Structure 1
Amino acid sequence: MKKVYFASDQHFGAPTAELSFPREQKFVAWLDEVKKDAEAIFLLGDLFDFWFEYKTVVPKGFVRVLGKLAEIRDSGIPIYFFVGNHDLWMDDYFEKELNIPVYHDNQEFTFNGKTFLIGHGDGKGPGDLGYKRMKKVFTNPFSKWFFRWLHPDIGVRLAQYLSVKNKLISGESDVKFLGEDKEWLILYAKRKLETKHYNYLVFGHRHLPMIYPVGENAQYVNLGDWISYFTYGVFDGENFELKTFEN
């Protein structure tokens, strides 16, 4: 079979559009590389550091990334997008304009007999209570309705400022391994395995690239990010690997 590719947490637009631009170029180069043998491409959220879809407006920028995704999708390669905590206000723009399905929670997939549980990973597992409360506020229909009434020049600028500055909103903490008994996505993966077996439980959000055994023939995968690591996952039909894109 061809290969299945996974990437997460690009945070395009942060901390500024100018500083983000080289990362966008590198990511487009990666997409050009993997499209050569891709069976499918999974983007696991926080592609943008902020995203909001008004009725007729989407945030300015990211033309090269969006254009490359459109090109790859038009070529027949499936692309699957999972919203993260920074782009959780995504609606149907990707589906209508790019023919890319958008998921707001975990989904199950099977490739070559291997089972996958895939999602962004925010708000999963024990702890992280401050962010979980904040997410309930952000996903409340009234919050989205209220924000939509702000002029985009005001709303987008305010949201971008908060996204960069406020760790409670971002859901991020100091990025270091907390140990098997404290990493909440590892604990979450183990809990999911109590009810159903998966070969791979693949998430982003934590910005910590790792493949960690969580059961018999079961591995927790965190894809890292495209800020510090430029890591991505690839499944070749038999094995899952984390690789670093050098360009």
Structure 2
Amino acid sequence: MAKREVDIAVISDVHLGTYGCHAKELLKYLKSIKPKILILNGDIIDIWQFSKSYWPEEHTKVLRRILKFVTDGVPVYYLTGNHDEMLRKFTDFNMGTFQLLDKLVLEVDGKRAWIFHGDVFDVTMQYSKWLAKLGAVGYDTLIWINSIVNWLLTAMGRQKMSFSQKVKARFKEAVKFINQFEQTAADLAVDKQYAYVICGHIHHAEIREITSTQNTGSVMYLNSGDWVESLSALEYNEGNWTIFKYHPDNFKTDVDEDDKTDSEDLNAMLDVKNLLERFKQDPH
């Protein structure tokens, strides 16, 4: 199966280690592309909710695939989010073509892109982190229940449904929060004279031009969505940004031939459960 060449691929909010994570679908996506740059824009590993009792093999395979990009010489930028904020103590760590950062300014065909997760704009994160963590557990539980319901609906030949999207649609405050998030990101990007501002965090894939509140200019706002519900990524190729949306019909066959390549060496590097357990226990 030929791989699609893309200049830049951006993914965020994968939440490895949770029931809602669609690691199998993400793995198929990562195997299908040949990026010149890969950006992991926060909440890739959900250290908040990590439990040694739940870490499927597919979740390790996603990390192995990312490491394979690194060993192949592809620049990989891991930008920390709130669910993997424990990694922020290692900011500026780099190994080969891999870099761990809090934010990134990238030159994209002569235009500057400001890239960061976006939790800095979340008031709940700033003042009530315990409430945000409680909400994350509730969200993951909702997704888990939703997956069971969708399995039953599929077995009955009926269309799947999204509980969280229905909840968001019913509450104007959720829509208001998304709009405020996007506007705040755009205002700051215009002030800093960036051409693009790229975020994650709110699980809402988007590409749109936003004019600043003060009407001093505009910026292209982009959000990569997530791999819990929308199963989306941002791609830049031949001068254009697009939103990739996973659809199973486009991935009829698995690409597993190169999954065995260097698997023993990579698995030796990925004692994920013990490593994450140490992160959670570390008080600093």
State the TM-score, normalized to the length of structure 2. 0.61
CA contact (8 A) 1:111 1:237 kept: no
SS in 2 for 1:42: strand
Q: Give the whole-Å Cα distance in 2 for the aligned partners of 1:95 and 1:189.
A: 26
Q: Could you tell me which amino acid in structure 1 is paired with residue 28 of structure 2?
A: A
Partner of 1:28: 27
Alignment partner, residue 231 of structure 2: 230
Contact 1:70 1:98 in 2 (8 A): no
Partner of 1:132: 126
Larger radius of gyration: 2
Offset at residue 210 of structure 1 (A): 1.1
Bigger shift: 69-78 or 194-203? 194-203
Contact 2:178 2:202 in 1 (8 A): no
CA apart distance, 1:65: 1.6
Deviation of the 1:72 alpha carbon: 1.0
Cα–Cα, structure 1 residues 78 and 201, in superposed 2: closer, same or farther, change >3 Å?
A: same
SS in 2 for 1:50: coil
What RMSD over aligned residues (CA atoms) do the two structures have, in Å? 3.7
Q: Distance in 1 between matches of 2:31 and 2:203?
A: 23
Tell me the equivalent position of 1:241. Answer: 242
Alpha-carbon spacing, 1:112–1:228, altered in 2? closer, same or farther (3 Å) = same
- C-alpha distance in structure 2 between counterparts of 1:134 and 1:48, whole Å: 21
Partner Cα separation in structure 1 for residue 114 and residue 91 of structure 2 = 25
* Residue 186 (structure 1) aligned to one of 182, 185, 189: 182
Q: Indicate the residue corresponding to 2:8 in structure 1.
A: 4
Match of 1:102 among 100, 113, 135: 100
Higher helix share: 2
Cα distance between partner residues in 2 of 1:77 and 1:41: 7
In 2, the alpha carbon distance for the partners of 1:96 and 1:109 equals 17
SS at match of 2:120: coil
Q: How does 1:17-56 map to 2 (within 5 A)?
A: 20=21, 23-35=22-34, 38-50=35-47
TM-fit CA distance, 1:239: 1.2
Report the count of equivalent residues. Answer: 207
Q: What's the offset of the Cα at 1:179?
A: 5.9
Residues 75-224 of structure 1 mapped to structure 2, 5 A cutoff: 75-90=72-87, 91-92=89-90, 95=93, 100-103=98-101, 105-124=102-121, 128-134=122-128, 163-165=136-138, 175=168, 183-215=179-211, 218-224=219-225
State the shift of 1:99 in Å: 5.4
Q: Which runs of 5+ in 1 are unaligned?
A: 54-58, 139-158
Give the C-alpha shift of residue 227 in structure 1. 1.2
On the 8 A contact 2:42/2:200 being kept in 1, the answer is yes
Residues 48 and 230 of structure 1, relative CA distance in 2, 3 Å threshold: same
> C-alpha displacement at 1:132, in angstroms?
0.7
Query: Displacement, 1:64?
Result: 0.9
Q: TM-score if structure 1 supplies the norm length?
A: 0.69
* Deviation by residue 1:191-216 (Cα, 9 ceiling, x = unmatched): 21342222211100011111121145
What secondary structure sits across from 1:207 in the alignment?
coil
Identity, in percent, stands at 21
Inter-CA distance 95–194: structure 2 relative to 1 (3 Å threshold):
closer
Alpha-carbon distance in 2 for matches of 1:93, 1:220: 25
Q: In structure 1, how many angstroms separate the alpha carbons of the residues matched to 2:81 and 2:108?
A: 23
State how far apart, in whole Å, the 2-side matches of 1:132 and 1:166 are: 19
Shift of 1:122: 0.5
Question: What whole-Å deviation, never above 9, does each CA across 1:130-185 have from its counterpart, x for those lacking one?
Answer: 3212459x9xxxxxxxxxxxxxxxxxxxx8x8842389xxxx99645866897232
Question: Is the Cα–Cα contact under 8 Å of residues 108 and 117 in structure 1 kept in the other structure?
Answer: yes
Contact 1:50 1:163 in 2 (8 A): no
**1:222-244 deviations in whole A, cap 9, x for unaligned?**
11111111111011141111111
- Report the residue type matching 2:7 in the other structure: K
